[in-house]
């Protein structure tokens, strides 16, 4: 595989650390309070803001598409956690 192909493969995958996820959630919470979440998702500029902050703070190349994808993952996981938390466990008595 050539160097160019290796670079393309590396660009496809972005690994999120817990501190990065924390920054994402902090910024998106601020954006929601500012009214930058008009519906079930955020405005594009909110995702750009998160990507810029992550890139600068953690010295990585984070793109808005990485933020959107991770936000979808977090949102999905939160939905599962909420369902499990609200479920009545009959076997627990």
pTM, two decimals, is 0.73
Residue 49 within a domain: yes
Report how many domains make up the chain. 1
pLDDT in tens, the chain (93 residues): 344 333 333 556 899 999 999 999 999 999 999 988 888 889 999 999 999 999 999 999 999 999 999 999 998 988 887 777 777 665 555
Residue 2 within a domain: no
Cα distances (Å, whole numbers) of residue 33 to 37, 40, 66, 79: 8, 14, 22, 21
Residue 5 within a domain: no
Residue 18 within a domain: yes
Residue 51 within a domain: yes
Give the domain extent around 24: 14-85
Q: How many Cα atoms sit within 13 Å of 22 on the Cβ side?
A: 5
Residue 9 within a domain: no
């Amino acid at each position: 595989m050539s160097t160019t192909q290796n670079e393309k493969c590396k660009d496809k995958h972005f690994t999120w650390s817990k501190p990065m996820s924390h920054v994402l959630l902090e910024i998106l919470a601020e954006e929601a309070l500012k009214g930058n979440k008009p519906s079930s998702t955020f405005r594009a500029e909110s995702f750009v803001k998160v990507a810029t902050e992550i890139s600068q703070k953690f010295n990585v190349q984070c793109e808005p598409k990485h933020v959107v994808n991770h936000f979808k993952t977090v949102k999905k996981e939160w939905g599962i956690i909420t369902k499990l938390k609200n479920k009545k466990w009959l076997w627990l008595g």
